Structure 1
Amino acid sequence: MTLLGPSSLNIPHRKVLNRKENKKLIKKYLQGEIGWSDKSLKLMKDNIRTLLRNEQEDRCIYCRRIIKIDRRNVSEDIEHYLDKSRDYYKKWAFSPLNLTLSCRPCNFVKNTKDLGDPSMRTTNNILNGVGRFKWIHPYFDDYHANIEIKKGWLYSIKQGAPNPTASAQMISNCELDKIERIERIGEEIKERQSRITDLMLKCMAKQQHARSQKLGIWLKFEQDRNWFDY
């Protein structure tokens, strides 16, 4: 089985957040002097994006599809697992264990869902085992031990998952069960090309060279015809 992205995240962006100049900016944000979209935060956020992209292997933390590098980062969002728009989670806006990257659709669907429990509203630190999270946590839970993604973008709770309740909640709330339909065209193209490839390999094994060549030409035609579609 191909694993799409890391099982859980490390925190390479901690070093960015700990820079002296950035600590000052974070303090101003937490005191309400500047907002999340303030231009003074752009460089820090760009650095965080770069490190998280590399850590997540260019994949959304939730759906695990590739996030395209777009002209103005419109395909991705710096995702706050505990939503920063809620007053009691604002203190976690720059906590390294609360920051990931998500694709825009997943972030839109997640919206302002409260993924913590009441204990997370009062604790001073985000720690594994302190409070309960409604979805699997990108730093504390093993994604691939909990959720299986099969060809065709079919999401299911893995047998023996250590956190099946949070896995089911994330699949449902994040509408991962709808991605099969969204990716249908690309999957049909890949499946068709895979069938041609399999036939060509069987012909080659039987030394049916003329038929193998025809299948190779057909495969090249399929690839060229659908080059921009998946």
Structure 2
Amino acid sequence: MRSLTRPDPTLTLEPRRRADGSLPSWSRKRKSIEKFVAWALANQSDQCAICGYFVGDVADRRAWSIDHFAPKGDTLYPQWTFEPLNLIVTCHSCNSIFKQDFDSVTLVGRDYADSSFLLVHPYLDSIERHIEGTYAGRSRRVGAPRPQSPKGRTTIELFRLDDVNYLSGINRQALRISLDEWKAHLPGATLLLFKNAMAELTGRHQ
């Protein structure tokens, strides 16, 4: 988990209200939402905002999902359904299996950014103040994260960021990133030798 750049404050996702003043239902197929998702994926380096897995990788935590950090249900926080600060792109597991409709809000402020949350917020919090040693989306491998605050502990427990299977998988991803970075800096001839050597080891040499 890492701190994310906040959406541009001029970004507006809220659609035109109905005649009775109510908002239309949520749909990620709206052009404004699709545009936001494209921005968010670039902002997050195509990785889940919570666990760091590349989203859409079916071998890991599966398809991407739009998470309403504060649930959008009619009885919860419908006023934040289209609030950009309330939207992050996550993997299917973090959103639909672990978090589900977890009420993350402890205090509703005058504005969204003035509110308080039970979970570490990727836009509003400094991750390092709440969780030490969490995967930050790069090639550095990690051990079990250590909570530095109550909300850090709740975040680790809810999303199972200390699960041994998750740590094994995310460290494999970090290793792949590290290998890709290393190969990117190899001269062409050396890279070809490396690929041929790997092909021989795996029995696929032509």
Q: TM over 0.5, yes or no?
A: yes
Task: Mark the runs of 5 or more structure 2 residues left unpaired by the alignment.
Answer: 183-193
- The aligned residue for residue 37 of structure 1 is 27
1:146 Cα deviation after fit: 3.1
1:28 Cα deviation after fit: 3.8
Aligned length: 180
**How many percent of aligned residue pairs carry the same amino acid?**
18
Amino acid of the structure 1 residue aligned with 2:17: K
- The aligned residue for residue 111 of structure 2 is 125
- The aligned residue for residue 3 of structure 2 is 7
| Mapped contact 1:8–1:143 kept (Cα < 8 A) | no
- TM-score with structure 1 setting the length: 0.62
- The aligned residue for residue 104 of structure 2 is 115
Does 1:83 pair with 2:71?
yes
Task: Mark the runs of 5 or more structure 1 residues left unpaired by the alignment.
Answer: 198-214, 226-230
Deviations 1:177-204 (A, max 9, x none): 23x414647839x59xx8xx9xxxxxxx
Which one of 122, 134, 151 corresponds to residue 166 of structure 1? Answer: 151
Please show how residues 39-58 of structure 1 align to structure 2 within 5 Å: 42-58=30-46
Q: Larger Rg: 1 or 2?
A: 1
- Which one has a larger percent helix, Structure 1 or Structure 2? 1
1:127 Cα deviation after fit: 2.4
Deviations 1:84-140 (A, max 9, x none): 0152311011112211111111001100000011x31xx441124x4x311111222
Amino acid of the structure 2 residue aligned with 1:37: S
Query: What do you get for the CA RMSD once the two structures are aligned?
Result: 3.8
- TM-score with structure 2 setting the length: 0.68
Which one of 96, 99, 121 corresponds to residue 137 of structure 1? Answer: 121
Which one of 172, 194, 198 corresponds to residue 187 of structure 1? Answer: 172
